[in-house]
Amino acid sequence: MAVLHSKDLVNWRTLGGAVDDVTRIGPELNWDRMNRYGRGVWAGSIRHHAGRFWVYFNTPDEGFFMTSAPSPTGPWEPLHALWRTSGWNDVCPFWDDDGQGYLVTTHYADAYKVHLYKLSTDGKSLVGPSTVIHQSRGSEANKLYKIDGTYYHLFSEVKPEGRVLMMNRGTSLTGPFETRQLQHVNGSVDREPNQGGLVQAPNGAWHFVTHHGQGR
C-alpha cells in the first residue's frame, strides 16, 4: 500500500507504505506462497479526518482492512481487520458533518449490491446492519462526497458500451438519488476508466482522476 504525494497530479514522490507486513492480510500473500495474483489489495482509499489520515482497502478473499496515521508519512498503526469475509470490493470511508463515519462497499458476490455501513468512533468496526443504497450491473468503485450539503455517490457500472462512470446524488446518504452517467466510452480506446476519485482544482473546476485497465 504505497502512499504518494503530489501538488499537481503530474509529479509524484513516494512517502512510504501504509502496510508494514502483507502477512497481516493473510498467509497466502507471503513470499513463500505468493498465491494472490490479481486478488491482493483492491481499490484502497485514503481520507483525512479528525487530524489523522485513514487508509481503507479490501481483498476479495481476506476481507476489509484499515490503518491510520497522524501524517501520510506515518507512522501507520498496525493493520487492523474490520471484517474477515470474502466476495466484497471497493471500500471507501466517509465522515459526515456530525462526525459519524460510514463505509461504502460492493458485495460483488451478491449481484453487485452497494452497501452502506456505519463505522464505530475509532473507525475499526462496522456498526449494525448495512443499508443497500444502489445496485446495477457491475456497480463498484465507490466513493462518497458531501458538497454544499448534497451527498454524492461516485461509482462505475457496465453498460453495452463498456464500463462507464456514474453518479448518484441526493439529500440523504441512503437516497433516494438522482442518477446520471458522467461520460461515454470507446471500449477499444478508453480501457475502462474506473476506481478513481474527484479532485477540485484551485479555480473551482472538478476533475476525475482514474486508472485505466483491462488486465494488461
For residues 51 and 95, the answer to whether their CB atoms sit within 8 Å is: no
Structure-block grid coordinates of residue 168: 448518484
Torsion of CA 150, 206, 112, 30, to 10 degrees: -120
pLDDT of residue 73: 96
Domains along the sequence of the chain with CATH = 2-211 (2.115.10.20)
pLDDT of residue 123: 98
Strands of the sheet containing 80-83, edge to edge, are 42-49, 52-59, 63-69, 80-83
- Sign, Cα dihedral of 103, 136, 88, 77: negative
SS (H, E, C) the chain: CEEEECCCCCCCEEEEECCCCHHHCCHHHCCCCCCCCCCCCEEEEEEEECCEEEEEEEECCCEEEEEEECCCCCCCCCCEEEECCCCCEEEEEEECCCCCEEEEEEEHHHCCEEEEEEECCCCCCEEEEEEEEEECCCCEEEEEEEECCEEEEEEEEEECCEEEEEEEEECCCCCCCEEEECCCCCHHHHCCCEEEEEEECCCCCEEEEEECCCCC
Predicted confidence (pLDDT) per residue in 162-205, tens digit = 899 999 999 999 999 999 999 898 877 877 888 889 999 899 99
CB contact set of 147 (below 8 Å; sequence gap of 6+): none
Reference 89, options 56, 132, 67; nearest CA is 56
Phi/psi zone of residue 65: left (φ > 0), alpha (ψ -120 to 50 degrees), beta? beta
CB contact set of 202 (below 8 Å; sequence gap of 6+): none
pLDDT of residue 213: 66
Structure-block grid coordinates of residue 6: 503530489
Residue spans of the chain under pLDDT 50: none
Model-level pTM greater than 0.85?
Answer: yes
Phi/psi zone of residue 45: left (φ > 0), alpha (ψ -120 to 50 degrees), beta? beta
